[in-house]
Amino acid sequence: MPVNEGFVPKIQVFEPHRASLPPLIPYIKEFWTRRAFATELARFSDKAEYLDSRLGKVWLVLNPLLLGLVYYLVVTIIRPGGTLPGMTRLDHLLIGLFTFYFAQNCVTAGALSITAGGRLILNQAFPRALLPFSCAIQSFQQFIPTIPVYIFVLVAGKWAYPTTIVPGWTWHFLWIPFILICTGITGFGLALVFATLNVYFRDTTKLLTYITRIWMYLSPVLWLPSSLRGNMKILLWVNPLGPVLSATSRVWVSGESLNKSTILGCILWAAAAMMIGGYFFISRERDFAIRI
């Protein structure tokens, strides 16, 4: 075969470098331009995840629903005679678990996204943050089927308790998109942190299993935000999901509007997670190729 003497092979060399941010405006523009890549990757991963399961995506609803019933039985047996009726407490458990699992899936799947996407990283040039972003999209897509189930429980609760114990449909439900956006942004920001840590310390994902379990126990899922008194209220504000889960309970369960402190807490945690996670991830992403 004749050899083209003028052809010079292009060799790409990956070397360690000091953590530093690239020009952010071009990075963000390219990230936004390639957002369709993250959407398609999320759709493909969603199909592949349940390919070998007979029930398929039914597990998206069945898993948190069964877990919610288990926790409901535990809570009602261990702490009988609570201040709220059973259906309202089941409402709180279900919507709390659904929302928490949305954020948890963003973090756990995002933590694996870089090490699992090694071939893409080595063979394609693109903003690496698109990989955790695709996991956040996939987590949201998996959260959507749980909403009708919760609405059914809410309607059943309204029928079982035709008083003001279980809220009806109010304009306060318009806060739900705000809550979901803050939850998704917070989960994505934390996914950037753990995805970076997992590149350098591969035991991160193993520890993350226990971290998320403890995280759920410290979040207002198995307990009501109103049950905290005095200095214990700090648990809501030092927890990245404390404000959004408190907002979820306030809107869905109590049928009330959000107060200023809850809104501010949701926004601050979402902004903090994105800024810290974004800096930690983007400043080190050029080092990923030599470490995976």
- How many CA atoms does the CB half-sphere of 43 hold within 13 Å? 6
Q: Which residues contact 104 (CB under 8 A, 6 or more apart)?
A: 187, 212, 215, 216
The pLDDT value recorded for residue 241 is 93
For residue 69, the model assigns a pLDDT of: 74
Determine contact, residues 113/132, Cβ cutoff 8 Å. Answer: yes
Task: Return the domain boundaries, the chain.
Answer: 24-290
Q: How large is the greatest C-alpha to C-alpha distance in the chain, in angstroms? A: 86
pLDDT of the residue at 157:
63
Q: Can you read off the two tokens belonging to residue 110? A: 């995002």
Q: For position 126, what pLDDT does the model report?
A: 83
In this prediction the pTM is: 0.82
Render pLDDT for 173-200 as a digit per residue (tens, 0 to 9).
888 999 999 999 999 999 999 999 999 9
> Can you read off the two tokens belonging to residue 125?
């040039």
Low-confidence ranges of the chain (pLDDT < 50): 1, 12, 14, 82-85, 164-166
Q: Which two tokens stand for residue 6?
A: 């003028």
